[in-house]
Each structure stands twice: as C-alpha cells, then as structure tokens.
Chains A and B, each alone.
Chain A
Amino acid sequence: MKLIRPVVCSLAVAVTVAAPAFAALGGDATSVQADLVKMKGALRTTSSATFTVHEITTSYGTVVREYLSPGDKVFAVSWRGPVIPDLRQMLGTYYGQYEQAASTPHVGGHRHLAIERPGLVVQSSGRMRAFSGRAWAPDLLPQNFSVSDIN
C-alpha cells in the first residue's frame, strides 16, 4: 500500500448551498439527504473545477466529508473526530465489500486498518476520542484527481 502525504486542498471559494443532496459512496446526489438529517450537523460546501466537497460538522465534533464528481457521484468519503460515523451509511453499497475485506486477518491491531481492493480503498486509524479515516472507489475518481486531496 502506498500512502501519499496529503497536500493542502486547493479548493476555491466556500459556498453555502441551501439544500444539497447527500449520498453514500457510489451514490448520486439525487438519492438521499440521509447523512445530513441523521447527523444533524452543520453543512459547508466547497467546489473546485473537478469536484465538490460536502462537509458535515456534528455537534459532538466528528467531521464527515463527501466528495462528489462533476457528474454528482460520491467517489470518496472521509471522517475525523471522537467517534467513527455509521460506516454502513457512509459506504452505502460498498459496505458489504468492506465487511468482507475487514473480516480477514490484518496488520495494525485495533489502531489501523487498510483495505485495498480493485474497487474499494478504505483506511481507518486512531484511538478512542481521535479517529480518522477515508474511503474511495478508484474507478469513480475524476480524471487527474489525487487521492491525497481526500482528507
């Protein structure tokens, strides 16, 4: 597995959108607003030429980001904070694949998990009170997108 050091996200201007649609990994923007409703968080949306980020900040401090391609498809998600968000909700139809891959023996004990399948990458790390993680579907990434921008 190769991890790339994240660079500062080169997003342009933050724009607040009134009623954005949310979706789990692989979903499209017309599908659900479930995440926002469920997490009852504050929303911030930022856009660049190649992708849009919907960021939900919950009252308890977990920040979830969902990365949408120009075609409004969620190609990546990330999270950081005191608790890990509902992964079934975050990973959507990919949850089964995650479940299968994460159930096999892995390095890293309770602190680190790295899954790299042809169609799904999941990286989860941290301790109680300070978790972080990200997941993406390689075949959904926009052209010229660097996964180091998923943070």
Chain B
Amino acid sequence: MRKFVALALIQLGFLAACGGGGGYGGGGGTPPPPPPTQTIATPGMPNVEKMTVDAGPAGVNAVNTAYISVKVCVPGTTTCKTIDHIEVDTGSIGLRIMSSVLTTAPAITLPAETNGTNPLAECLQFADGTSWGSLAIADIQLPVSGETATNLHVQVIGDPAYATIPTDCTGIPENTVASFGANGILGVGPFIQDCGSACVAAVTPLTVYYSCPSPNTCAAANASLAEQVPNPVTLFGADSNGVIVELPAVGSAGSATTSGSLVFGIGTRTNNGLGTATVLPEDPITGWISGTYKGTVYTKAYLDSGSNANFFTDSSLTPCPTNTGFYCPASTMSETATLKGANAATLTANFSVANADTLFSVTSYTAFSNLGGTNSDPMGFDLGLPFYYGHNVFVAIENANTAGGIGPYFAY
C-alpha cells in the first residue's frame, strides 16, 4: 500500500556506476557516514523498547516504518493482549489500535471512555485521511522495557460498533490495517494531548472529539484536556519527559530490515542523556523549527519518525517515472540542510537522495536511508525515518523539564 514498488528491474550496479553527478550540494554514491559516536541503548528494563523496521503487518508492504509491540490490558485486570506492529510516530500523539486486531482471537474488549454522560469517539485527522473510532480505557505495558501507563485513553480505530462515520468527519477513511499501514500507532510527539486547547472550548466544537448518545448519533463535542487522548509517555513515571529514537545506519542500497531502540526519558537515566546532542527548540504551537536548504528558508521544518521519506521541494531533483512523488535522480545526491531552532541554535542535517525506483526494485528491502520525495507544502521540510538511521533523535514534550531545557524540542 505505501511502498509502490517499481515493477521494472534496474540493475543494482546502477547506483555505484553513476556516482558523481554534480548538482547543487554535490554528488556522491554513498550516504554520509553516521556520527562515529552513535551508541544505541540495549533494549530492556526499565526504559528501552525494541523497535523494528520491516514490511509491517501482512498486506501492508511498508518501507521506512518503525514498529514496536504494546501489551494492552483491561484496566485493573490481567486480561491482556500483546499487539505487534504498532507504528512509532513522533508526528502524532496517543495510542490508537485497529479494532480488527483487538477482536481477533483471543479477543479483548476495552471499556469505553465517557464524558460522564456519553461514550466518546474521535475523528483523528491526518494530512491524507481520517481515522474514526471509539475511545476506550486501557492499562498498557511495553513488553521489553516494562514501562506502564494505567487508565490510558486510547482510540479504537474502525470499531464496528461505531460503523456510522459522521458526515462532518471528512477525509478519506483509514480504518483498516491495510489502509492505515499498521496494527496501531504510538504517537510520542512533542505534545501532551493530541488536540490540546483547540478542542476544549471551541464556539463550534471541532470535528475531532464526538459525544455519542448512541453509536450512530455521534456529534462533535468539546473535550477537556483530561478527556483527550494523551501522549502515553507523559504517564511513564520517571521517564515521562520525552523519547529518543535510536536506529543504526543503513547502507546506500537499503536493507531488508533493521532494528534499534525507542528510549523513554531524556536525561533521566544513564542511558538517555543528551551527550553532545544540540537542542533545537520548537515553536510551542506548531512544533515547527525552520530549515535552510539551497538558500531557501523552509518555515515548516520538523523531524518525524512517522514519515517514510525525507519530504521537501527541490525542482532540481528528477521525479520518479514509476513511484510518482518520490525523487529519482540519475545519481545519488548528497544534500545538506541547516536546521534552526526557535532560539536560533543551528544544526547541520546531511542526507542523500537516491533513485527511489532503483531502491524499490529490491522488493524485499524495507529500510532506505536515502529515500526522498516531494512535500505537499512548498514551505515544508520533513526529515523522516531515512534521516533517523545513524542518528539518535530526541523529542522533548511540551512543558517538560529536561537537562536540555523545557520542551518542546528536537535534538540530535
């Protein structure tokens, strides 16, 4: 679904044969080397979860998507189920699980979240569509690190009991594993709740939270911060101020799979200090930093584990004939952007862009460090999972105290 593999087979020697190439930012056949100092924390208790990049659940064919497993329990009980292939997304907030995964034997039924009067549901917006489903309460435990959150508000996407999608929940439905690309999503971005203050007291309630007198009569409703779906990390006791996504470098031709660590907490343990990382404070409303690339300032820059390519606008890069939307330069291009935080701190971001049609010709590969594509916003500069390979990327949560200052910020 998300991969769009090129059918034409192109010789693998192509990349190596076409090094050089020139162009702004220079050319080169290999991605920049990872920082020699990268240390990936070993998965285990009390705060390091194992994270894997692979093709995703059956039928998804994902590329550059990082997954973990999450154990979900009926609150206060030992009735639990461990769900694999939950996408790790630093670009969204909250735990959301596909209903079909929960109802597959052994099924688990989570109690509904109510606003005191009615059960709640949510129309979760993504740029490319919306996910509709009821809200529920769960205790969760991450199986490797043991991090726990109790009475967590979660969304059950595609809940068949709430089959009627309200007409004002517009956008393309992404309510199945295949259309969503994962069994669920763990949103660990820089905010405490998914919607925040915008959904609390709008004159006309936003079409995000819904109050449901019956499953088929849900109506948009304001939701207090306490009722909203929170960033689960904020409930992780000692490690609640942010996360680090740690993935090893991936070679220029890509890799079948790779694995790394999702580390909870920043500077809360000996394994999650900032070290030499530079902190880039984000705009507290939007989460944006800025980036300068080839002389142009991009006002909407961010790092995002939930983006499967580096997405930016560069008319000098050849668009792919087959995998439309990705870049297909004749030779791999080495590029540089300068990221700037809200405090004017800067950080260099080196990355490369290879021919996506060529990369995808090896259909068994799912991890590519040099995948680039067009950004639907001309001012957007989105460094996605390809950039994470070889870097430990920190995300600090808004208002949280860390050794590097108060969130929200990125650092690497």
Contacts and interface: CB of A to CB of B under 8 A. Distances in A.
Interface in A112-136: 112-114, 123-133
B313 A125 contact: no
B23 interface: no
B203 A6 contact: no
Interface in A23-62: 38-40, 58-61
Interface stretch (B30-38, B45-53, B136-144, B323-331): B323-331
Contacts of B65: 109
Interface stretch (B66-74, B191-199, B258-266): B191-199
B311 A102 contact: no
Contact of A128 (B2, B4, B191, B376): B191
A126 B170 contact: no
A71 interface: no
Interface in B108-141: 125-129
A136 B92 CA distance: 28
Contacts of A39: 204
B375 interface: yes
B158 interface: no
Contacts of B181: 109-110
A84 interface: yes
A-side binding surface: helix, strand, loop or mixed? loop
A142 to B, nearest CB: 21
B127 A111 contact: yes
Contacts of B1: 105
A113 B315 contact: no
Nearest to B197: A60
A95 B92 CA distance: 26
B224 to A, nearest CB: 15
A129 B127 contact: no
A112 B128 contact: yes
B92 to A, nearest CB: 5
A4 B378 contact: yes
Contacts of B159: none
B125 A131 contact: yes
Q: Which of A84, A88, A109 neighbours the largest number of chain B CB atoms within 10 Å of its CB?
A: A109
B-side binding surface: helix, strand, loop or mixed? loop
B127 A110 contact: yes
A45 B300 CA distance: 26
B376 A109 contact: no
B177 interface: no
B343 to A, nearest CB: 19
A3 interface: yes
Contacts of B308: 109
A127 B126 CA distance: 7
A138 B171 CA distance: 21
A139 interface: no
A40 B217 CA distance: 23
Given A1-B319, A83-B208, A132-B300, A127 B128 contact: no
Q: Which of B1, B128, B296 neighbours the largest number of chain A CB atoms within 10 Å of its CB?
A: B128
A105 B4 contact: yes
A109 B198 contact: no
A65 to B, nearest CB: 15
Interface stretch (B77-85, B240-248, B280-288): B280-288
A1 B325 contact: yes
B126 A110 contact: yes
B377 A107 contact: no
Interface of B: 1-2, 4, 65, 89, 91-93, 125-129, 167-168, 170-172, 174, 181, 187, 189, 191, 194-196, 198-199, 202-204, 206-208, 285-288, 296, 300, 302, 304, 306-309, 311, 313, 315, 319, 323-326, 373-380, 382, 384
6 A-B pairs with least C-beta separation? A107-B325, A130-B286, A125-B377, A125-B376, A113-B128, A110-B126
29 contacts: A1-B324, A3-B375, A4-B378, A5-B296, A82-B198, A83-B195, A83-B208, A86-B170, A88-B167, A105-B4, A109-B306, A109-B308, A110-B89, A110-B127, A110-B128, A111-B126, A111-B382, A112-B307, A112-B380, A113-B127, A114-B374, A114-B376, A126-B127, A128-B187, A128-B189, A129-B285, A129-B286, A130-B285, A133-B377
